[in-house]
Amino acid sequence: MKRIAITTGDPAGIGPEITSKAIRFLKLREDITFVVYGKLDPFTDGNSVVKIHNINEATSWKNIYWMEINSNNIEIGMPSKESGETAHKILSECAKDLNTNKLDAVVTAPVSKDAIRHTHPNFIGHTEFFAASSNTENVIMSFWGPYFNLSLLSTHIAVSDISKYLSSEPLKPKFELIYKEACKIIKNPKIAMLAVNPHAGENGAFGKDDKLIASVVKDLEIDGIHIDGPFPADTFFATKATSYDMIISAYHDQGLIPFKMISADEGVNVTLGLPFIRTSVDHGTAYDIAGKGIASEKSLEKAITFAKKMISVSEDIPNNNYSIFAEYYDNYMSHVDYNNWVDFVLSHYNKIFGKSPARILELACGSGNVSSLLVKKGLTVDASDISAEMLKIASGKPFPPNLKLNKMTDELPTNKYDLVLLLFDSLNYLHDPNEIELLFNNVYNTIVENGIFIFDITTPKNCENHFDGFINVEEIRDDIFIHESEYEPTTNFQSTKLTFIKKKGFLYARYDEEHKQKIFKVSKIINCINNSEFKLKGIYSIGYEENLIDHNPKILDSNFSRLFFILEK
């Protein structure tokens, strides 16, 4: 099993906050264990966080492990000698485990170089720290984002020293390293080099740096390494950037200004050449917002995902459903009377037992609109969903339930819940009757004796009347949202394509999600119920008091848009 460390950075900055947020609903995998080094304020729900004192205690992929390194003399938002010393201690403890091969990768939250230099005056950055601690001579700072990827020939040096650095440093090994590492991530990468001086120096008219770089690039051709350039940097990003897999910048700000301007929270800092994988956020400590609970964890999440991708050949099953859509979901569903849904499920439970359920579980809870209303009524509610983005929105509701990242078919604790809910046609996302029977079995085991399971389905009638050939375009704030749906009656599949055109600074970015639902006929659902240990107590539709259990299933298919099934253990 591989281990990935996450260092929380300066304890006075936003690092502890964004780490806590990032690991709360982090998708865990059987081949990777996560260990956090530093300060942390773990949430009471989400992934289980276990405090340890030695890396050898990190043994199960099902937990996130935490080695606490902190000081009581640190004020949030105020960098100090103490916060810098603690940040350095966090890095040192992690480096010790990296260099003894007890860790395979590290993901770093931001530190303050100035704060660390109070006690370690030679510290100039993560890149140089990990290079020195691992006795690595040649390392490269690189940045990976959705629009272009960037590598830096130099790291943290003064602009006035760039020419001296380029003329004194052997450049060929740096280009070779960039090429070799890029090939590990991108097959046959197309690489470009930016010029140092305006107009690439006009053939030496002002500055000889670019002639030097051009000669090194030419020498690389002998070894089969092709790098285009050097190109004048002032026009490159407007005309050529998207044509290359990797862009090389001679110094820090030349490439990072355009990168950070358009990549925002989606960029990842990767150190190339180390004997282990190191990724990082592409932002700083943000002392001005530290402790306010508003810092974004998106860049750290991207860095963690990138490290997972680099460390293991095992691929996460792609599932982008309700990722981008999560941001718009509540606005798009604003027409739904959630109070009516809550009253519907509670009234049926009360009708059977004459009381409210003691403990409720909502599977596929989405953004938690039903669960939060149940909590508001004073009920104890656990809720889960496969989308971390939806869970984050649910966690921000006024009365959030206890949340966990899970698929609706995951195994559940035994004999725990009086009432289990699966609403808003979530069951239709299961395409195979075997999956439905697995779901029923798991829910049966988690429900107490005489407990109730309520789920709903969308029907062929609903798909034919409302979603076949459906197209809707909405403008939400500055973004465009396009919803297209088609229903195929021969296969009973409804396909939904969601397109989002999001404004990002000066640019627009496009994102797509595809949702596919199996529209089961009532007879098929009843057959799955009969194959389970549940007893079917009723079939209902909101707005109809009558129990439809004795109606012909074909009549239900063609006369109702949504049906609720009530099962009892």
Residue 173 preceded by cis peptide, ω within 30: no
Within 10 A of 518 (CB to CB), how many other CB atoms are there? 19
Regarding whether 310 and 387 lie in a shared domain, the answer is no
Distance separating alpha carbons of residues 295 and 188, to the nearest angstrom: 37
Tell me: do 449 and 478 sit in the same domain: no
Given a contact cutoff of 8 angstroms between Cβ atoms, the answer to whether 404 and 384 are in contact is: yes
Residues 112 and 83 sit within 8 Å (Cβ to Cβ): yes
Whether residues 421 and 436 fall in one domain: yes
pLDDT at 312 exceeding the cut of 60: yes
Q: Would you place residue 19 in the very low, low, confident or very high pLDDT band (cuts 50, 70, 90)?
A: very high
Count the alpha carbons within 13 Å of 474 in the hemisphere toward its beta carbon.
13
What are the pLDDT digits (tens) for 505-518?
667 888 899 999 99
Q: Looking at the structure, tell me whether residues 123 and 146 fall in a common domain.
A: no
Q: Which of 286, 316, 346 is the last residue of a domain?
A: 316
At residue 201 the predicted structure's pLDDT band, cuts being 50, 70 and 90, is low
Tokens of 221: 């051709």
Is there a domain that residue 321 lies in?
no
Q: Tell whether 93 and 159 lie within a shared domain.
A: no
Q: Tell me: do 148 and 86 sit in the same domain.
A: no
pLDDT at 318: 53
Q: Which two tokens stand for residue 430?
A: 């299961």
45-69, pLDDT tens digit by residue? Answer: 999 999 999 999 999 999 999 999 9
pLDDT (0 to 100) of residue 45 = 96
The percent helix, strand, coil of the chain (3-state, each to 5) is 35, 25, 35
In this prediction, residue 319 carries a pLDDT of 58
Whole-number pLDDT of residue 316: 54
Three-state DSSP class for 537? strand
pLDDT band at 543 (very low <50, low <70, confident <90, very high): confident
Do 42 and 11 meet the contact criterion of CB atoms below 8 Å apart? no
pLDDT of residue 133: 96
Global pTM exceeds 0.85: yes
**pLDDT cut 90: percent of the chain above it:** 77
- Name the domain boundary from 316, 342, 374: 316
Distances (CA, A) of 100 to 18, 36, 45, 93, 296: 28, 17, 33, 11, 33
Which strand ranges, in their side-by-side order, compose the sheet holding 470-476?
A: 470-476, 479-488, 493-504, 507-518
Residues 479-534 have pLDDT tens digits of: 899 999 999 999 999 999 999 998 776 678 888 999 999 999 999 999 999 999 99
- The answer as to whether 348 is a domain residue is yes
Count other Cβ atoms within 10 Å, centred on residue 453: 26
192 and 108 assigned to the same domain: no
Residue range 246-253: mean pLDDT, rounded: 93
Start-to-end CA distance of the chain, whole Å, equals: 40
Q: What is the pLDDT of residues 173-198, one digit of tens each?
A: 999 999 999 998 899 999 999 998 88
C-alpha to C-alpha distance for 509 and 241, rounded to whole angstroms: 16
- At residue 120, does pLDDT exceed 80? yes
Q: Are 46 and 160 in the same domain?
A: no
Residue 392, in any domain of the structure:
yes
Mean pLDDT of the region 156-172: 86
Kindly state whether residue 36 falls inside one of the protein's structural domains: yes
Mean pLDDT of the chain: 92
363 and 266 together in one domain: no
Confidence of residue 263 (pLDDT cuts 50, 70, 90): confident
Residue pair 290/11 in contact (Cβ under 8 Å)? The answer is no
> Could you tell me if residue 81 is inside a domain?
yes
Radius of gyration of the CA atoms of the chain, in A: 28
**119 and 182 in a common domain:** no
Report which residue type is found at 244. Y
Q: Are residues 352 and 457 in the same domain?
A: yes
Q: What is the band of 265 on the pLDDT scale with cuts at 50, 70, 90?
A: confident
Q: What is the pLDDT of residue 314?
A: 58
Distance set, CA 89 to CA 82, 102, 115, 256 (Å): 11, 18, 13, 28
Q: Note whether residue 199 is domain-resident.
A: yes
Q: Is the pLDDT of residue 204 over 80?
A: no
Q: For residue 189, give the CATH number of its domain.
A: 3.40.718.10
| Number of independent structural domains in the chain | 4
3-state secondary structure of 513: strand
pLDDT digits (tens, 9 = 90+) for 220-249: 999 999 999 899 989 998 889 889 999 999
Cα distance between residue 377 and residue 560, in whole Å? 30
Does 64 map to a domain?
yes
pLDDT band at 368; cut points 50, 70, 90: very high
Mark whether 302 and 447 lie in a shared domain. no
For residue 213, what are the domain limits?
139-273
CATH number at residue 524: 3.40.50.150
Q: What is the pLDDT of residue 477?
A: 78
